[in-house]
Chains A and B, each alone.
Chain A
Amino acid sequence: QKEVEQDPGPLSVPEGAIVSLNCTYSNSAFQYFMWYRQYSRKGPELLMYTYSSGNKEDGRFTAQVDKSSKYISLFIRDSQPSDSATYLCAFHPQGGSEKLVFGKGTKLTVNP
C-alpha cells in the first residue's frame, strides 16, 4: 500500500463549482496535514495547514481531516479560473523526520 494516494486527475470544472480534492494515507504517524498549490512552472505554495481532525476554513478554502479514516480533503467554493493549478497534499509526522511526504498532485482546471 502506498504511503499517500492522490488521484492525479485531471479535474475540469466550470467556474463557480465546488471542488473536492482528496488524499488518503496509511502512516498513522502523520500528524500534520498540508495542502500546497502549484501553478505551472512554479514552486508549490502553502495553502492550508492543519494538525487535528475536523475542518479548517480560510476564505473559499476548507481543509478537512479525518484521522480515523486516514483521509484528508480540500474543498474550494465558488471556484475561479485563477484556481487552476495542481494541488498537492503533504504530510508530516510528529517528532519524526522533517521530510514531508507529498501526494502526486491533482491537476485542476476551472473553466470560465
Chain B
Amino acid sequence: GAVVSQHPSRVICKSGTSVKIECRSLDFQATTMFWYRQFPKKSLMLMATSNEGSKATYEQGVEKDKFLINHASLTLSTLTVTSAQPEDSSFYICSARYRGPASGANVLTFGAGSRLTVL
C-alpha cells in the first residue's frame, strides 16, 4: 500500500517550453503532497507543499510563477515548470503523506522522480 506514481520519469525539452510532471497516489487519498528538488550529490530540497483544493505553499526562494502546482483531486498533484531554462534541469520528486502507525506521525511515500533536462 501507499504507492505514489510519478510521470514522466524523464523529460528533455528546449529552453522556453513548459513541462508538466504528474504525481498520483495510487491506493490512498493524499490531501497533502510535497514537491522536492534534488541536485546531484545533494539532499532533498522542499519546494512546496501542495494541498488539495487550495493554493500551494511555497518555500522561501522558490518562484511561484516558475513552478506552478495544482492539486485538483485527492490523488493527483501536478508541477509545471514554466518557460524552462537550463538551470531548471534537476531531479524533481513528489511525495504524499499518510498516517504512520503512531498518532500524529506523518510518513512520506515518494514517487520515483522525474529527471528534467532543459537544452
Footprint of B on A, CB under 8 Å?
8, 31-32, 34, 36, 41-46, 49, 51, 88, 90, 92, 94-95, 98-100, 102-105, 107
Contacts and interface: CB of A to CB of B under 8 A. Distances in A.
B43 A43 contact: no
Interface residues of B, number: 28
Contacts of A51: 100, 102, 105
Contacts, number: 59
5 residue pairs, one from A and one from B, having the closest CB atoms? A43-B110, A104-B43, A43-B113, A43-B112, A43-B93
Contacts of B41: 8, 107
Contact of A34 (B6, B46, B107, B111): B107
Interface of B: 4, 6, 32, 34, 41-44, 46, 49, 91, 93, 95, 97, 100-102, 104-113, 115
A42 B100 contact: no
